[in-house]
Structures are given as structure tokens and as C-alpha cells.
Structure 1
Amino acid sequence: MNKLRVGYLSLVKGSWINAGLEGQRQDALKALSELGAEIVDCGLLVQTEAQAQEVCCKFEEARVDIIVAHFITFSLGTIVPGMAVRLRKPVIFWSQPEPPMNGGRIAANSLCATNMNAHALWKMGLKYSFVYGNADAAMPELARQLKVIGCLRDLQRMRIGSLGGRVPGFYTSNFNELALREKFGVEVEGITLLELIEVARSIKGDELAGALKQIKGSCQCKVSDEELNKGAALFAAFDKLQKKHRLDAWSVRCWPEFSDIYGIGVCHILGCLTGSGAPAACEGDIYGATAMLMVKALSGSDAFFCDLISFDEKGDTGLFWHCGAAPVSLCKPGCVPQLLKHSIIDGGDKKGIAVEFPLKPGAVTIIRIGETRNGNGYRLLSIGGEGIDTSQMLHGTPLTVRFKRPAAQLVNQLIDSGFEHHYVLCHGDITKEIRHMAGMLDLELIEL
């Protein structure tokens, strides 16, 4: 994806001008330049509406994604609201601590400027957020917020391939296509199982050999060569269709007919797709695929599409698991991923290919995107926790997570609130990013 374009707007008021303000502006630009975004500099200490008008034209021409309104001192209350209305881009208000107070006049009044301007944007229903601190101190939070804005921008361009629709009886995989497009910008392309399988059956030679190398990776293989070749052809076919339909992620009807038609289960191939940068959700879950795209962008970690299958009140833990579609990047250190017959398809141990390993420990965030009960909006679940050392206690890919609140209370709230049974887990604590995203999208946020 292209770099985020950040419009940097340095604001002052004439009655607060002093020789040190340009130095603060340059310090801010230097700090911003290290965040990996493309900085579109306003080029001056903006004092007047006329200057702001010229800057607004510059930002408009550069097609900035967000405005960072840096109140080096107090500023006129008309500049930022006018620019936000014209550009229709979110604003990050940046205020600095007041310089030392030694009995003289107020030196900057930066925080008050944010307070005043935030009121105006709030009244107009425009999106904004806030960071506080001098150049170095403000950067971690500013970087976090820019990451969220980048994720939201990129989601507007994302396309998910819905392969075969959803699995039977899983109302939790239902989705509203137009509402998804309106709220998140994500487009869905319907693709038939027939198209995928016909392409898979055409894969041969070097193309097959290359795909075989990718799906085997560092795994220990305990399935037949025929199953591995079928899996490799399937992976190559997904890749071809991904390019043909310009897809960024997949939602796959992985049962009941898939293994009957093609001869193997698709589980490990979905994990390979996720690990190669195209998140793949099981059981036709479009919102699950959307959440996988989201957490990948925010955490940098491959996502784990999973169920919560048990909990322990004594340890305040829950066991997250799925049957064999996790990317091998999530394997616990010291363990070797195993390619096996699937433990459930046709009663178990009849057809490959599933991957098995316990997931690596560490801080995790678990989310779920779902519709509100009346269907007129979306809600976003966010659970923070710590993945702890987990054994291969059952077939599939398990991870035990220690919650930050009593496990029974958390599970009861999930059930009472009617959440869907699919969750998306990533490594890393992105709960602040999820909170910010919910605010930017006007989602109902539930934090557990």
C-alpha cells in the first residue's frame, strides 16, 4: 500500500509569536518524518485564515489522508474547522505542555486551543483525536493513531473473495454486503467452488512444484504425496484467482462438499494463504475475513481465525482453537508444524490436509466484528489477554489465553450479548488501536 499522506498544519497566534516557535515546528517535522508516513508540510507558522486557505489548497492537491493540527500556541478557532469541512479528512489535534510558569503571561495556551477546536468538530460531527506532548513524547501515540487511519484508508480499497458462500446453519457467518461496503469500504466478490477446482486441476509442472514447496515449508508431512499435490494445486489456484479478481482476502465455504468434490480438506491451504498475506477465514465468514485484514494491518502479525472452546475459572483462561487452518508463522518455538489427516472430516483421519501445532505465547488481542441486533449498525468486540504456554492437548491449533478479568464473567458476557462464535486473534496488544478505530467508525465498542 502507498504511504499515508499526512498534512502537517503548524498553528500559532500573532500575539504569541516568538523566535523559538519555528524551531518547535522543525522539531515536529523531524519527529514526524521518522514515522514512515509521507509528510505534506504546510510550510509556515499559520496565523491567518488567508494563510490557511492556501495551505488547504496545498493539502487538497496532495490528497492528504489526515491532518495533524499542531497547536504550537493558541490559534484562531476558524482555521481547523474550515479545513476539516472542506477536505473531509480526520484531524489529529496535537497540543504541547505549557512552558515553565514563572509568574509572567501565559506562553502558549496550546491545550486550550485543542479544547476549543475539538468542540467545533464535535458539534459538526467531524472525526478527530488528540495527542499531547512535546515532539518526542507525542510520537508513540501519534504513530498509533496514524496506523489506525492507514488501516481505515486501506480497508476502503480491499476486496474479499467469497468462495462458495457460507456453510450451512452458520447464521454467525451471515453478512450485509451493502452495509459492509458503506461502513468499512470492503467489497465482496462471489466465486464458485467449481471455478477454483477447475483451475486447480489445470496446475502442473513448475507451477505445481513451486506451490508444493510453499505448502510444505518447514512442516513435518504425514499425508500422502497425492494429498500434498492436490493441496499445492489448490494453493496455486487460489493465487491465480486472487490475481484475476484483485483480491486481498478470502472467505471460504470449507465444508461440507469441498472434500467430497476435491478429495482433500482445504484447511492447511487457508493457513498458507493467510501466511502469504491474503487472510483466509473459514466457514464463509466475511466479517471474520474483514477482522483478519484489520488486525494484520494494526499488529503486523498473521491472524488466527478461531473458536473459544473452553474456559477455566481457576486460572481465568480460555482455550482458543481451530481445526487446522492457522498460518505456521504462529507456531510455538521448539515445535514443528505437522501436516496430518483432518481430525473431523468424514469422521476423522480419512483425508488431509490439516496443520497442527500449539500457538506461540505472548500478548494477544482478540476481536470480533458483528452487526447490532437490529441490523442498523456494527459492534466491535475487543479482548486483551496473554497467550500462555500451550501443549498439543488436542488435534488442531490450540492456544490458552489468560484473560484480564474473571473468565466466567467474560464468557457469560459473550453469551448474554449474543456474540458470534468466530473470533480473530493476533499477537500483540492492539486494544488502544481497536478503541480508536471504533471511535473513527462510530462502532459500538465492547471491551472485555
Structure 2
Amino acid sequence: MLTRNRTVIDRSDRRVGVLFVASPLFSEAAARDLLVRTEAFATEGDLAGRLTIAGTLAYDRASCAKALDGLDLDHLDGLVIQLATFCTADLLHALLDTLKGRSLPLALWALEETDAIVTNSLCGAQLWASTLTRFGHRFSFILGNPEDPAVAQEVAAFAAAARAHRAITGARIALVGAHADWFTNLAVDPWAVRRALGITIEQTTLVRFIEGCVADPAAEDAAAARWSEARFDAGDAKESQRILGATFARLKAGLDRISADAVALRDWPELLYGADFKGTWAALGELAERETPVAPEGDVMGAVTALAVRAFDPTSLPFLTDISGLDRANNRLVLWHYGVSPRLANGPRSLDAALKQESFPLQAGAMTLLRLSLRADGALRLFVSEGEILTEHSAANRAAGFFRPAQVSAEALMRHFIDAGYEHHVTAIYGRWASAAAHLGRQLGVTVDHA
């Protein structure tokens, strides 16, 4: 149905490179010791398997070329440049010549020297940073030694952002139908999003999509088992499971025909109330586990945000949600939506008699809310808020939970979100991803709005 206009990239083996630059003016022994310490650092925790270490110390143009050749720049998501010692901009110019216009996120890493100055790494990073700025190149800055756990977290966040940068830059987003009726705030100018991110929006009609939603009866029967543990408020449970299985299989067949990086789907009212798609919202929850994210209500930027989040953590199950309630007394917000994977449930799943709503409480734990948003003038911005889903369950139906932000009060977050004119959706992901979002903002050259 929809086809790509770029080469499909297998991201499973992509990494971030680490390049060591130095100067003969400072201790080569210290620089080589740092290389060994960083190689050990790269095998631990979240960084294991994520980094490619240049085994050659770059101290002149010849050794820099050898180090870069060993990194294989075409298969990197980003590049961390460790100032192993002070280094002039000669090697930076050599690096920029080698990059030749590649859109490769860069980070400068300086050491923390608290007393005696052996490497003068920090001053070297300042020299490189000001030179990059003068030539219009974006970068992140990392400060600390390989043994510092905070440095490992920062490098991991940069790597996550670099994966997201590659995932969304030049992506292909399928828009099935349009935004939901009168959700005009979700409308996206295709030219603006292409100018901001190189993204192509390819639109198809709901009629054509539905024509492709044809599933084998055996697939429909097999899918019914997905609701074998759910509670049904009325009617024949087996028949309800059969209906849901049929809807799941049909929607999956239609989505499988779409070749795109993410999908924005107009699911209501047409699909939700369609005779052949009873239980659409519950089926979308199960379909949230597909590798290609699906954003309901035709939310294109919601789909783009989910694509970025999936790159942060490929095992995550991001979901679009409304911020629908404010409990001032207990400093918490109510998150509430459909299309959420039941793998994120912390309690029983139940469906109403009409099979419209599937309800369950969300798991407690750390959570980050994000939104990549296009302003009316076409400028891109990124909203992020870290917090947690509380253990107390909300009484709301659908997939719901209490969210308490970490940095500001719940009311302050909500007022800021409204005053800034963000769309009424955020993408939620379990874990703490504000640092990765900050790096992504630097890589994209956009404002990161922390709340």
C-alpha cells in the first residue's frame, strides 16, 4: 500500500563510536591509559554492546584517518570524541572533512582534573566546542572520568538520543485517513515536518486501508486467545473473545500491508463503530507491541514521538495518552487513554458490554512523558517530564494511572503544558529519559521544554 523512498536500515547492530584525540604536547602515556580505561567502561551496564572503540589514538592527521577508518562512520549512530589530552583544532578539521556532510550526532568528552593538570582535556574540549559552534555544528558535552557512573549514564543517554535521531530523521510516516474529527490541533503541514526533520508523510484513505484488512479465519481464531484472561462485563465471554480476535487480525493485516517507519491511524469514529471492527480500541492495545509504532486519532507527531522513544529503548511499549485529571490535594495527574499494551497492566483487564473500552490500571514505576511538537510557525520543540506512576490505582476506565512529576508540581506541569499550547497528547514511556531527550534536542537543534 505505502512504500518507502529510502533504504531500510537494520538498526540492530548500530553503535556509537568513541574517538580518542590527543596532542604530542601532553602525556601520551596518560592518553593511552585513558583508552584502556574506556574500553573497560564500554563493556558494562547499559553501554555493553552499544559502543565501538577506536583502537588507534589520533594525534596527527594520519593516525586520525586510521582511527576513523576503523570506526566505519557509515554504520554509526553517533560519535563521542574523547579529548584524551588537549588537542588543537587541526584534527577537528580533519574529522569534519571526513564526515563530508554526514548528519552524525557529536559529543565532546572531557576529563575531570581536580588539582594537577596532566591532560588539559577540559581546555581542549572548550577549543573544539567553540570551533564547532563557529562552523555551525551541534554537539553534546560530557564531563567526567570513565570510572564515574554518571558519565556512563550520560554516554548511554547520548547513544539513545543518537539512535532516536537516526530513526526519525528522514522517516516515512503513514497517515491513514486524517486526524480525528475536529482534532485540528493534530493537523500537520507536510512541508513543515519535512523541512524540520526530513520526514515524508504519505497519506492513504481509510477506504483503501479497510480493503486491506482481510485476515484468514484461522488467524482470527488464534488471536482470540489474547483476551483469554480478560473479564467481560456482559455477554458470552467466548463470543466476545472471538469478536476481538477477528478485529485484531483484520487490523493487523491492514497494518502489515503498510511499509513505513510509523503509522498515524484515524481509528475513530469510522473504525471504532464499524461493523467489522468491534473492539478496535482493545485490539490497538495488543497491536501496540508491533515493531512499527501506531498512533491513534491520526496523530502524526505522536507517531514521530513514539518512533523516537522506540529508538531510546527498542523493548519499550510507548503509548499515547491524555492528561485528563488533576488532583491538587495529592499532587498528581490522571493519565488516561486507549491503545495501551496490556503488558503494562498491573491488575485485571476488563471490557465493557459493547467491547468499546478495555480497562486496566497501569504498572507503578518511573515514567517519562514526551511530545515532539510543531508550532504554528513550523518550528520544532520537544516537551519532556520525568516522574512516576503511583501504586494507587485510578478509578478511571481505559488504561489509567496517577502520574506525579518529579521536577514541578502536577498543577504547574498542567498549566505550563496548556499555556505553551501543546497538543492534547503526550507519549509515555517507562523509565527516566529526560537526559536522552536533552541530547536529542541538541542533535536536532530544537528547544527542549522540561517540566
Name the TM-score, length of structure 1 as normaliser: 0.87
What is the CA-CA distance between 1:44 and the residue it aligns to? Answer: 2.2
Distance 1:173 1:37 in 2: 38
From 67, 90, 105, the equivalent of 1:78 is: 90
> Are 1:5 and 2:15 counterparts?
yes
Give unpaired runs (5+ residues) of structure 1.
342-350
Residues 203 and 67 (structure 1), Cα distance of their counterparts in 2 relative to 1, 3 Å cut: closer
Distance 1:144 1:96 in 2: 18
- Cα RMSD after superposing both structures: 2.6
Task: Give the aligned partner of residue 188 of structure 1.
Answer: 201
Per the alignment, in what secondary structure is the counterpart of residue 380 of structure 1? strand
Per the alignment, in what secondary structure is the counterpart of residue 261 of structure 1? coil
User: What CA deviation, in whole Å up to 9, does each residue of 1:275-305 have, x standing for no partner?
Assistant: 3333322211111122122223325431231
User: What CA deviation, in whole Å up to 9, does each residue of 1:379-398 have, x standing for no partner?
Assistant: 11112222213435132222
Task: Give the aligned partner of residue 95 of structure 1.
Answer: 110
Per the alignment, in what secondary structure is the counterpart of residue 357 of structure 1? strand
> Are 1:416 and 2:419 counterparts?
yes
What is the CA-CA distance between 1:254 and the residue it aligns to? Answer: 1.8
From 388, 391, 415, the equivalent of 2:390 is: 388
User: What CA deviation, in whole Å up to 9, does each residue of 1:165-202 have, x standing for no partner?
Assistant: 111110121012233334334443333333343343x4
Spell out the pairing of 1:38-77 with structure 2 (5 A cutoff): 39-59=51-71, 62-77=74-89
From 277, 285, 303, the equivalent of 1:289 is: 303
Is the CA contact (8 Å cut-off) linking 2:82 and 2:110 kept in structure 1?
yes
From 200, 206, 210, the equivalent of 2:218 is: 206
Residues 10 and 409 (structure 1), Cα distance of their counterparts in 2 relative to 1, 3 Å cut: closer
Residues 390 and 254 (structure 1), Cα distance of their counterparts in 2 relative to 1, 3 Å cut: farther
Is the CA contact (8 Å cut-off) linking 1:325 and 1:354 kept in structure 2?
no
Distance 2:364 2:13 in 1: 31
Distance 1:217 1:121 in 2: 57
What is the CA-CA distance between 1:142 and the residue it aligns to? Answer: 0.8
Is the CA contact (8 Å cut-off) linking 1:28 and 1:135 kept in structure 2?
yes
From 407, 411, 423, the equivalent of 2:410 is: 407
Distance 1:262 1:184 in 2: 38
Distance 2:422 2:246 in 1: 36
* Alignment size in residue pairs: 429
User: What CA deviation, in whole Å up to 9, does each residue of 1:332-387 have, x standing for no partner?
Assistant: 2xx1111334xxxxxxxxx3243101111222211222222322x11111122222
What is the CA-CA distance between 1:267 and the residue it aligns to? Answer: 0.7
Identity %: 24
Give unpaired runs (5+ residues) of structure 2.
1-10
Distance 1:428 1:164 in 2: 32
Distance 2:394 2:37 in 1: 52
Q: Which amino acid aligns with 1:49?
A: R
Distance 1:233 1:186 in 2: 33
Compare 432-441 and 220-229 and name the one that shifted more: 220-229
What is the CA-CA distance between 1:438 and the residue it aligns to? Answer: 1.3
Task: Give the aligned partner of residue 14 of structure 1.
Answer: 24
Distance 2:399 2:222 in 1: 26
Per the alignment, in what secondary structure is the counterpart of residue 98 of structure 1? coil
> Are 1:120 and 2:135 counterparts?
no
Q: Which amino acid aligns with 1:414?
A: F
Task: Give the aligned partner of residue 135 of structure 1.
Answer: 146
Task: Give the aligned partner of residue 118 of structure 2.
Answer: 107
User: What CA deviation, in whole Å up to 9, does each residue of 1:213-234 have, x standing for no partner?
Assistant: 34x2642344655554343233
What is the CA-CA distance between 1:31 and the residue it aligns to? Answer: 2.2
Distance 2:437 2:25 in 1: 40
Name the TM-score, length of structure 2 as normaliser: 0.86
Is the CA contact (8 Å cut-off) linking 1:367 and 1:382 kept in structure 2?
yes
Is the CA contact (8 Å cut-off) linking 2:176 and 2:204 kept in structure 1?
yes
From 241, 247, 254, the equivalent of 2:260 is: 247
Is the CA contact (8 Å cut-off) linking 2:16 and 2:77 kept in structure 1?
yes
Distance 1:54 1:432 in 2: 32
Distance 2:54 2:365 in 1: 42
Task: Give the aligned partner of residue 304 of structure 1.
Answer: 319
Distance 1:40 1:429 in 2: 24
Is the CA contact (8 Å cut-off) linking 2:56 and 2:67 kept in structure 1?
no
> Are 1:229 and 2:242 counterparts?
yes
Q: Which amino acid aligns with 2:336?
A: W
Is the CA contact (8 Å cut-off) linking 2:57 and 2:67 kept in structure 1?
no
Per the alignment, in what secondary structure is the counterpart of residue 131 of structure 1? strand
From 346, 357, 362, the equivalent of 1:359 is: 362
Task: Give the aligned partner of residue 435 of structure 1.
Answer: 438
Per the alignment, in what secondary structure is the counterpart of residue 19 of structure 2? strand
Residues 212 and 27 (structure 1), Cα distance of their counterparts in 2 relative to 1, 3 Å cut: same
What is the CA-CA distance between 1:423 and the residue it aligns to? Answer: 1.6
Residues 279 and 42 (structure 1), Cα distance of their counterparts in 2 relative to 1, 3 Å cut: closer
Higher relative contact order (CA 8 A, sep 6+): 2
